[in-house]
Amino acid sequence: MNKAILSRGVGSRIDWRLCFIADTEALAGRDVLQIIGEAVAGEATIIQLRTKKRATREFLQIGLKAVEFLRSRKIPLIINDRVDIALACEADGVHLGQEDMPLPRARKILGRKKLIGITASTLAEAIEAEKEGADYVGVGPIFQTSSKENVPPVLGLDGVREIRAKIGLPILAIGGINVANAGQVITAGADGIAVISAIASATNPRQAATELIEAIGKINL
């Protein structure tokens, strides 16, 4: 199993344990930068910024402020879907879905020093992502989730094990993950977890992040 780190040109090794996907539409009107700050205070190790409805200029402004906040804390910022935003705000990388810009094109734009993650809902997609040069894969959904619409069938823990056996990339597992099952996901072979509602919908996001880190820490890797 990968030990949850990967050297890249972001100034430090990456701790993959807990990625908070800061989805602006999931925050029920709360300030996304404030929730990012609380997640980081609770020891979230990666932030992914995601928005589907904000205008490009607003997305960029949020990204610029997030980069400024996170860089001094040596926590990478990944931009969801938008290669242009990742480039413009000098984020540490981009996360692409299967219908987003093809990985080779994104790599040509961003270069080798930026992280590129790929969503993989099947073993075949994970293998293809590795072949094309992805830095990590976001695997899921692992369990049933209400955070996204039109999601593929759940992979379950067996799906994580199958993908882990076939690829050497860091795996971030996503979909229905919470304090109760986070440890199982890591045991199955994921290097870390990515969550939206487990932090975004929590009354105390900082505490929620801390509890997830503690749940992962109980696993003897």
Residue 200 belongs to some domain of the structure: yes
Compute the Cα dihedral for 157, 165, 16, 85 and give only its sign: negative
Q: Which residue has the tokens 């000098």?
A: 90
Give the model confidence (pLDDT) of 179-196 as tens digits: 999 999 999 999 999 999
* Number of domains making up the chain: 1
Give the model confidence (pLDDT) of 76-105 as tens digits: 999 999 999 999 999 999 999 999 999 999
Q: Over 90: is that where the pLDDT of 9 sits?
A: no
pLDDT at residue number 144: 86
Residue 11 belongs to some domain of the structure: no
Residue 174 sits in which domain range? 18-217
pLDDT at residue number 11: 30
Q: Which of 77, 104, 96 is nearest to 21 (CA)?
A: 77
DSSP secondary structure letters along 20-60: EEEEGGGSTT--HHHHHHHHHHTT--EEEEE-SSS-HHHHH
Residue 76 belongs to some domain of the structure: yes
Residue 109 belongs to some domain of the structure: yes
Residue 8 belongs to some domain of the structure: no
Cβ neighbours, 10 Å, residue 141: 21
Neighbour-count burial of 20, counting CB atoms closer than 10 A to its CB (0-12 exposed, 13-18 middle, 19+ buried): buried
175: left (phi > 0), else alpha (psi -120 to 50), else beta?
A: left
Percent of the chain whose pLDDT exceeds 90: 85
**CATH number of the domain to which 140 belongs:** 3.20.20.70
Q: Is 91 helix (H, G, I), strand (E, B) or coil?
A: coil
pLDDT confidence bin for 148, thresholds 50/70/90: low
Residue 4 belongs to some domain of the structure: no
Give the model confidence (pLDDT) of 136-145 as tens digits: 999 999 998 7
Q: Over 60: is that where the pLDDT of 12 sits?
A: no
Q: Over 50: is that where the pLDDT of 1 sits?
A: no
Residue 1 belongs to some domain of the structure: no
Between strands 46-50 and 18-23, the pairing is: parallel
Residue 2 belongs to some domain of the structure: no
